[in-house]
Structure formats: structure tokens, C-alpha cells
Amino acid sequence: MRIKSSYLFVLVVVAAVALYFVVGSLVSGGKADATAKPAAKAAAVPSVQTVSTPEQAHPYAVKLRGRTEAARTVEVRSETSGVVSQAPAAEGTLVRKGAVLCRLAVDARQAALDQARAAWKSRQLQQQASAELARKGFRSPTQVLAGQAELDAAQASVRQAEIALEQVNIRAPFTGVFDHRAAEVGSYLSPGQACGTLIELDPLLVTGDVPETDAPRLSVGQAARAKLVSGQALTGRVRYVARDADPQTRTYRVEIAIPNPGVAARAGLSAEVAIDVGSGPAHLAPVSALVLDGAGRQGVRYVQADDKVAFAPVTVLEETPQGVWVSGLRGPVRLITVGQSFVAEGQRVRATQVR
């Protein structure tokens, strides 16, 4: 069957129009891709805001959680036996060194002392007479020496009786707080039994444990600050740093002696302690600049001279209203303060300096 010439003409026109649109779309698409590539490339470089922070010398401090303790805790015990006749010291009161905490009944102790003194006086008179007879030639030197020995023994008996009488007074061995009474009036005490517990709170101790990484930086005499849970702020100095670590925690015990006149601060309170260990390079950074890297380390991201992002782990030294002092950086640094969570190490950025 032969196709008419009019139909053939229509087919040719339709094919030409279709070819025109196909070629045009290809050409325009190529031009669009060519113009889109620079735009996409420009959009791939993120923008961040930075702040410049110089390196400065800043005091370093080892910080730890501690607790207050009494410098000394002693159970004051009886040296002799007897019934408690008086208890002049009240629990919880401050007592001076030598104050009577418990007093035992004197019983026959005073009589024993009087007897010993009478025997001593008799020996003194006998020795005087013996010396006079020896001067006249009626006593030998050996007899005089024997009499002197008896006189010395009598004097020792007096001293022994005086000590036994004084032992009825159970006294405070140092100035402190009579924290707990163990014997009341009427109680019978044997030698070694406790009258009560005395604690020394001036100086007050603040104790804590430091990790093995910080222990080498501590030494006796370093200044320390303690803030108690009660709000009290105290200052003192390190008096002891352990040389042997706790086998379970691998930490070292530290003791800080703090003056506590009037025993205003109590034992057993939690405390935040900072021990000054010198000074070193540090940077003041906004709190918002702190981030965590993929390994979970705390640090900051900053822009290098080639406009690439870098990460540096840091240690927070001190928190202030102006920001946080951190160590771990060197020299002037452009810290990223806006956008630091959306960029990665080695990525090029456009940095805008913020004053």
C-alpha cells in the first residue's frame, strides 16, 4: 500500500518538531548543570563564628571532693578503779586541756597519802638524828647511808600516793570537744574503761583522695581552699600526702589542716577542695565552645591558619562568670563559638571573627 504524499509530509514535520525539543532539552540541561556546580561548590563550605583567645598564665589547682574530720579522736580512759562521783563536763562542750571530765570517789586514797607523808616525816627526823650521831662518832657511815635509803623510799611512797589520789580526776589530754560521755555518776570504772570521747577540731582536717595522675603534683605545705556543704569557706595547707595508694581505688589520701577557732566548723561535712599547685598556660573559653569528639573527650574546635577545623582535648581548670579557663591549647587560638557542632576536623570553613 502506498502512503499518500500529504501524510508523508505531516510525519516529517512531527519528527522534526520532536527532534527540536529533544535537542533543546539536552542543551539547556547541560547549561544548567554547568551553572549549578559552582553554586553547589560554594554552598559546601560552611560558615562559623570564632572568637580569638590568647594564651595566658593562670593558677593551676587540683580539685577533689573531701570531708571534714577531727584532727584527733581519743577515748579518755580511767587509770584506776572507782565509782564516778562527779561528771563536770557536759557533752558537746568545748573543754580545755587538763579539765576534769570524770571524777572518781577518793575512798581511802587520801588516808594512804596522809600515812605516807607521816612515814616520810618520821624518816626525816630519824635521818637527822643519825647524821648527828655519826658526826659525834656514834654511828658508822654505812648506817647513815642506810637511813638515807629508807628516807628516799618514804619520799617515793608519798609520790606514789599523790599520783594515786590524782588519778581519780580523769582529765582532758588536749583542748577539744567532749563529744560523748561513756560513764555517768554512779558508774564503776575499772582501769582502762572509758569516761568519754574527746575530739580535736582546731585545727580541723579536710581529707580526700586524689587520682594517681594528680598525686605527684601535691606536696606538704601547699595552700588549699575548702568550701563546705554548709556554705563556709575555709583556707589551710596540706599537711599529709600518702605515699602508698589505696589498692582498690588506686588513689592517694590527702589531709589539709585548717584553723578552726571557736570550732565553728563541724566534723563530717562534705567539702569541695582546691589545692594550688602553681601556674601555667591557659585559655579563657566560652562555655558554649566545649564539645565532645567521637571518642567522648571534652575539648574545643578551632580554626587553623589554613581555615581548616581542628579539635583539641582540654582540661577545665576553673569556671568563672566570664567563661571557663582550660589547659591543652598553645598560643593564640580562634575558637569556634557558633557552628562547632556541625563541622568536622579537617573541614575547610569560612570563619567570621566575633569581638
Q: Mind listing the pLDDT tens digit for each residue in 250-275?
A: 999 999 999 998 888 999 999 999 99
* Burial (CB count within 10 angstroms: exposed 0-12, middle 13-18, buried 19+), residue 154: buried
- Which uninterrupted H or E stretch holds 29? helix 5-43
Q: What is the C-alpha separation between 105 and 187, in angstroms, rounded? A: 11
Strand pairing class (290-292; 298-303): antiparallel
Report the pLDDT averaged over residues 58-81: 93
Report the pLDDT averaged over residues 274-301: 90
Identify which of 302, 306, 308 has the alpha carbon closest to the alpha carbon of residue 340.
302
Predicted confidence (pLDDT) per residue in 194-240, tens digit: 999 999 999 999 999 999 988 998 999 999 999 999 899 999 999 99
Query: Would you state the cell numbers that stand for residue 197, as one nine-digit string?
Result: 570521747
Q: What is the C-alpha separation between 229 and 271, in angstroms, rounded? A: 6
Q: What percent of the chain has pLDDT over 90?
A: 63
* Burial (CB count within 10 angstroms: exposed 0-12, middle 13-18, buried 19+), residue 38: exposed
Phi and psi of 70, rounded to 5°?
-70, 140
Identify which of 72, 81, 75 has the alpha carbon closest to the alpha carbon of residue 101.
75
The amino acid occupying position 109 is R
Residue 19 or residue 185, greater confidence: 185
Identify which of 308, 346, 302 has the alpha carbon closest to the alpha carbon of residue 55.
302
| Three-state DSSP state, 235 | strand
Residue 172 or residue 288, greater confidence: 172
pLDDT at res. 188 = 94
pLDDT at res. 136 = 85
Q: Which residue has the cell 571534714?
A: 68
Kindly indicate the confidence band of residue 36, based on its pLDDT and cuts at 50, 70 and 90.
Answer: very low
pLDDT at 18 over 70: no
pLDDT at 154 over 80: yes
Query: Residue-wise over 297-309: b if at least 16 C-beta within 10 A, else e?
Result: eebbbbbeeeeeb
Write the CB contacts of 117 (distance below 8 Å, at least 6 apart in sequence): 158, 161
- Whether the bond into 59 is cis, omega within 30 of 0: no
Report the pLDDT averaged over residues 330-345: 90
pLDDT at 286 over 70: yes
pLDDT at res. 58 = 87
Identify which of 299, 303, 327 has the alpha carbon closest to the alpha carbon of residue 313.
299
Phi and psi of 159, rounded to 5°?
-65, -40
The amino acid occupying position 220 is V
pLDDT at 7 over 80: no
Kindly indicate the confidence band of residue 12, based on its pLDDT and cuts at 50, 70 and 90.
Answer: low
Q: What is the mean pLDDT of the chain?
A: 87
Predicted confidence (pLDDT) per residue in 302-318, tens digit: 999 999 999 999 988 88
Q: What is the C-alpha separation between 129 and 271, in angstroms, rounded? A: 73
Report the pLDDT averaged over residues 96-100: 95
**What's the DSSP call for residue 294?**
T
191, 80 contact by CB (below 8 A): yes
Write the CB contacts of 53 (distance below 8 Å, at least 6 apart in sequence): 283, 284, 285, 332, 333, 335
Q: What is the C-alpha separation between 180 and 75, in angstroms, rounded? A: 9
Report the pLDDT averaged over residues 34-63: 75
pLDDT at res. 283 = 92
Q: Which residue has the cell 642506810?
A: 146
Three-point CA angle 293, 297, 302, nearest 5°: 55
Strand pairing class (298-303; 188-189): unpaired
> What are the chain's domains?
47-58+280-353 (2.40.420.20), 63-69+200-279 (2.40.30.170), 74-195 (2.40.50.100)
Model pTM score: 0.65
98, 76 contact by CB (below 8 A): no
